[in-house]
Chains A and B, each alone.
Chain A
Amino acid sequence: MEIEIISFGKISEFIKPQKLEISGITHTDDLKVYLESSFPKLSGMKYKLALNKQIVQQNCEIANHDTVAIMPPFSGG
């Protein structure tokens, strides 16, 4: 299936917005493993995912054409 990846802050400097063809990945926990091996810089960092504009708090199922945002710690204000 195909998902869309967007990223923010520091992470946007090494992961550009892109469409990702993934197979065998059904949940966000698997996706994290996949992302960290595809983008080694990510593995040492603190980050959160948002699936279709919802912050991922627990392992969530991913569907075709979902959008996943990769977000480093917030620093607003």
Chain B
Amino acid sequence: MSEKKIKNIFVAGPIDPAFIADSIAKHGSKTAIGGHSIFMGQVRRDEVDGKLVDAIAYTAYEELALEKMHQIREDIFEKYPLNCMHVYHSLGTVKAGQICLFVFTSSAHRKPAIDACSELVERLKAELPIWGKELFDNDTHQWKENI
């Protein structure tokens, strides 16, 4: 059996923009890379029946999510000639306007980075057992559902 290293993707609370900047900066030494693609998910202040979303509280079936993410990662590396792939997702409370998802792919030329990034976002939204509870400004809540 091949050695399997399960990477953690979960971050407690929002993803700090400084962390994202730092992650970009770290790739400066990887000079074979010619293109990066980044997707960031941000909590939207939706209005539902006159109530505004203050924050989303994320929970996950962590072990299953990390296992699944490992498979997705392998599939994507197999499909696209990538130099790097990084995925981070928040757990716990993330306020409206804050970042809850950060997907970062890099390749020698732009196309694989762009396509891999987009496919990763679609797959992780559909396949990772993560749940977002929208917390409203009047202390009520509703569970999000990905379309």
Task: Give me the interface of A with B, judged by CB distance under 8 Å.
Answer: 6, 8-10, 12, 50, 53, 55, 69, 71-77
Residue of A nearest to B132 (CB): A75
Residues from 124 to 147 in B contacting A, C-beta threshold 8 Å: 124-133, 143-146
CB within 8 Å for A74 and B121 given contacts A10-B143, A53-B63: no
Binding stretch for chain A, among B18-26, B30-38, B53-61: B53-61
B121 proximity list for chain A (CB < 8 A): 77
17 contacts between A and B (CB under 8 A): A9-B133, A50-B61, A53-B63, A55-B64, A69-B64, A73-B146, A74-B126, A74-B128, A75-B130, A75-B131, A75-B132, A75-B143, A75-B144, A75-B146, A77-B101, A77-B121, A77-B146
Q: How far is the CA of A50 from the CA of B129 in the complex (A)?
A: 10
CB within 8 Å for A77 and B127 given contacts A8-B61, A53-B67: no
| Other 17 A-B pairs with CB < 8 A, given A12-B59, A76-B58, A77-B89 | A6-B61, A8-B60, A50-B129, A53-B61, A53-B64, A72-B145, A73-B145, A74-B126, A74-B127, A75-B132, A75-B145, A76-B65, A76-B128, A76-B129, A76-B132, A77-B100, A77-B124
A73 proximity list for chain B (CB < 8 A): 145-146
B41 at interface, CB cutoff 8 A: yes
Q: How far is the CA of A64 from the CA of B68 in the complex (A)?
A: 25
CB within 8 Å for A74 and B131 given contacts A8-B61, A9-B59, A50-B61: yes
Interface-centre pick from B60, B121, B127, B145 (highest chain A CB count, 10 A): B145
Q: How far is the CA of A76 from the CA of B132 in the complex (A)?
A: 6
**In contact, A77 and B145 (Cβ under 8 angstroms):** no
Residue of A nearest to B100 (CB): A77
Q: How far is the CA of A8 from the CA of B58 in the complex (A)?
A: 11
**In contact, A9 and B143 (Cβ under 8 angstroms):** yes
- Distance to closest chain A CB from B119 (angstroms): 13
- Distance to closest chain B CB from A20 (angstroms): 18
**In contact, B129 and A71 (Cβ under 8 angstroms):** yes
**In contact, B144 and A8 (Cβ under 8 angstroms):** no
Interface-centre pick from A10, A69, A74 (highest chain B CB count, 10 A): A74
